[in-house]
Amino acid sequence: MRKNVDLETMTDGKLYTGNDMVRLLCNDCIGCTGCCNGMGRSIQLDPYDISLLTTNLQCSFQELLAGRIELNMCDGIILPNLLMVSDREVCSFLDDKGRCSIHGFRPVLCRLFPLGRLYRNEELWYVHQINECGMQNGGKIKISKWLGIEGLKEYEKYIIQWHMLLAKIQKEYAGKVSPEELRAFNMQFLKLFYLDSYTSDVNFYAQFYNRLKIIYKTINSAASFEH
Ligand code: SF4
Ligand code: SF4
């Protein structure tokens, strides 16, 4: 989810790296499902999230679209997000005991909460959104441990590249090409990064970077797109 965060009022004002300790512990979220319902379209899913979901649930992206996720237009580009279901607007992965049924491979935005990410000059920082979770009266934890992402440095390099791609499309490309070109581009983008499955036999990042080269080739060859 891309949102403008007022660092002064919505965070503790500090920029963190994965090695920093932050007061995030919330008693294992017992009795609270605050960030698993009413989230609207905000829990967007990137290719890494989708590769984890499809591999661990042994399903395709199309199967996830049948009740687990949905597609939405976001500043000119079609992106998937977790679907909130029922009149309670609850994530379909929340079980009847109020726990995440996919905890081990839940999307990274779920892992982050209530941290946010800030991208500056091709660098990634974490921010602590102090008003998002009312249960954080426990101790401090290292951000890398909070996230629990294997190979965090490699992941961070990837997510910076993903962020830069989305920013280029949303802030430059989408506004300059014709509606027909944008439609065709969206079809290619969806197929390349989401519909074409990621194989668990090959490193995810290698597969991603191959696809990244292809999409940049399309962007750079668009006749109506001035660089
Ligand atoms: S709002 Fe805080 S305590 Fe509640 S589920 Fe989310 S992270 Fe856990
Ligand atoms: S995937 Fe899990 S942690 Fe994320 S919103 Fe759904 S139930 Fe909550």
The whole-number average pLDDT for the span 115-134 is 92
Based on the fold, state whether residues 40 and 144 are members of the same structural domain: yes
Based on the fold, state whether residues 145 and 52 are members of the same structural domain: yes
Q: Whose CA is nearest to atom 6 of ligand 1?
A: 35
Q: Domain containing 175: what range?
A: 154-221
Query: For residue 1, is it within any domain?
Result: no
pLDDT of residue 198: 95
Query: For residue 44, is it within any domain?
Result: yes
Based on the fold, state whether residues 206 and 115 are members of the same structural domain: no
Global pTM exceeds 0.85: yes
Query: For residue 226, is it within any domain?
Result: no
pLDDT, one tens digit per residue, over 157-202 is 999 999 999 999 999 999 999 999 999 999 999 999 999 999 989 9
Residue 212 above 80 pLDDT?
A: yes
Report d(CA 100, CA 58) in Å as an integer.
18
Separation of CA 144 from chain center: 16
By mean pLDDT, which of 29-33, 61-65, 81-85, 150-154 is the weakest?
29-33
Query: For residue 2, is it within any domain?
Result: no
> Ligand 1 in contact with 113 (CB < 6 A)?
yes
pLDDT of residue 224: 60
- Domain finish residue from 149, 168, 202: 149
The string of DSSP codes covering 148-197 is T-TTHHHHHHHHHHHHHHHHHIIIIIHHHS-HHHHHHHHHHHHIIIIISP
Based on the fold, state whether residues 139 and 161 are members of the same structural domain: no
> Ligand 1 in contact with 143 (CB < 6 A)?
no
Based on the fold, state whether residues 13 and 114 are members of the same structural domain: yes
> Ligand 1 in contact with 79 (CB < 6 A)?
no
Report d(CA 186, CA 126) in Å as an integer.
30
pLDDT of residue 137: 73
By mean pLDDT, which of 3-12, 68-77, 216-225 is the weakest?
3-12
Query: For residue 195, is it within any domain?
Result: yes
User: Which tokens is 226 given?
Assistant: 């001035």
> Ligand 2 in contact with 83 (CB < 6 A)?
no
Query: For residue 227, is it within any domain?
Result: no
pLDDT band at 3 (very low <50, low <70, confident <90, very high): low
The SS3 assignment for 81 reads strand
Query: For residue 121, is it within any domain?
Result: yes
Report d(CA 181, CA 223) in Å as an integer.
10
Based on the fold, state whether residues 171 and 131 are members of the same structural domain: no
> Ligand 2 in contact with 117 (CB < 6 A)?
no
User: Which tokens is 222 given?
Assistant: 């668009």
Based on the fold, state whether residues 124 and 168 are members of the same structural domain: no
Based on the fold, state whether residues 128 and 212 are members of the same structural domain: no
pLDDT of residue 226: 59
The whole-number average pLDDT for the span 110-136 is 91
What's the gap in Å between 129 CA and the centre of ligand 1? 12
What's the gap in Å between 19 CA and the centre of ligand 1? 22
Overall size of the chain counted in residues? 227
Report d(CA 153, CA 201) in Å as an integer.
21
pLDDT of residue 9: 75
- Domain finish residue from 101, 132, 149: 149
Ligand with the closest atom to the CA of 106: 2
Q: Calculate the average pLDDT of the chain.
A: 92
| Helices 47-57 and 204-221, axial angle in degrees (round to 10) | 140
Based on the fold, state whether residues 102 and 145 are members of the same structural domain: yes
> Ligand 1 in contact with 129 (CB < 6 A)?
no
Q: What domain count does the chain have? A: 2
The whole-number average pLDDT for the span 188-217 is 96
Based on the fold, state whether residues 168 and 89 are members of the same structural domain: no
Based on the fold, state whether residues 193 and 172 are members of the same structural domain: yes
Residue 2 above 60 pLDDT?
A: no
- Domain finish residue from 115, 149, 183: 149
The whole-number average pLDDT for the span 53-70 is 97
Query: For residue 12, is it within any domain?
Result: yes
pLDDT band at 109 (very low <50, low <70, confident <90, very high): very high
What's the gap in Å between 108 CA and the centre of ligand 2? 10
pLDDT of residue 5: 60
pLDDT of residue 70: 98
Which segments within 56-184 are labelled E, that is strand? 69-74, 77-82, 84-85, 90-91, 115-120, 123-128, 140-142
Based on the fold, state whether residues 55 and 130 are members of the same structural domain: yes
> Ligand 2 in contact with 110 (CB < 6 A)?
yes
Residue 122 above 60 pLDDT?
A: yes
